[in-house]
Amino acid sequence: MHREIGQYVIRDWNIEDAPSIAKYANNRKIWINLRDAFPHPYGLQDAESFITSTLAAEPVTVYAIASQSEAIGAIGLILGQDVNRFTAEIGYWLAEPFWGKGITTESVKSLTAHAIRELKLHRVFAEPFTTNPASARVLEKAGYRCEGIQRSSAFKNGEVLDQFLYSYVARRSTDPGI
């Protein structure tokens, strides 16, 4: 996949992305808003393992958010199965120096459109912690709607947290996406 988002791009990973991902991902402000599968501290070996696993996945559903010179974040889908086969959960993170520039919102819009058009999904959802209002704003700007709050649904960093439930639902099977 290769989708331009202004001066940035969503693209497939390559192993040369590992040093920049290790540099940017080793940030507690990023880790605190992600699932525990995302390690902290985050080192070069973590980045290499992550990239290797994404390259081996079929179908590929996790991509780099990149500038002209380096990977600066990640965005991906976890595809639903069985009765949830036309849904996916979207997840993302962006390096702190790039926050507040609309990159994440445009990335979410782009991957959601890809999910609806190319993967033929009907619903894409996200479950950000309620302690992360910036992620909720990203989703709202990308056309997602808040379906509610899942009370005491997550355990992160020694605390029980609530999570928002946001979704983008295709208006019809031929929805061109957002």
Residues facing 73 on adjacent strands: 65, 94
Query: Which residues fall within 8 angstroms of residue 71, CB to CB, at 6 or more apart?
Result: 13, 17, 20, 21, 24, 64, 65
Residue 148, sorted as left (phi over 0), alpha (psi -120 to 50) or beta, turns out to be left
CATH fold for the domain made of 2-169? Aminopeptidase (3.40.630)
- Would you write out the chain's pLDDT as a tens digit for each of its 178 residues? 888 888 999 999 999 999 999 999 999 999 999 999 999 999 999 999 999 999 999 999 999 999 999 999 999 999 999 999 999 999 999 999 999 999 999 999 999 999 999 999 999 999 999 999 999 999 999 999 999 999 999 999 999 999 999 999 998 655 555 5
Predicted structure pTM score = 0.93
Closest to 86 in 3D by CA, of 5, 2, 167, 178: 167
The C-alpha angle with vertex 5 and arms to 88 and 13, in degrees rounded to 5, equals 60
Measured CA to CA, the distance from residue 12 to residue 66 in angstroms comes to: 10
Q: Domain locations in the chain?
A: 2-169
Chain segment 55-105, per-residue pLDDT in tens: 999 999 999 999 999 999 999 999 999 999 999 999 999 999 999 999 999
Nearest to 127 by CA among 33, 42, 58, 45: 33
> What pLDDT is attached to residue 2?
86
End-to-end CA distance of the chain: 17
User: CA–CA separation, 8 vs 30, rounded Å?
Assistant: 20
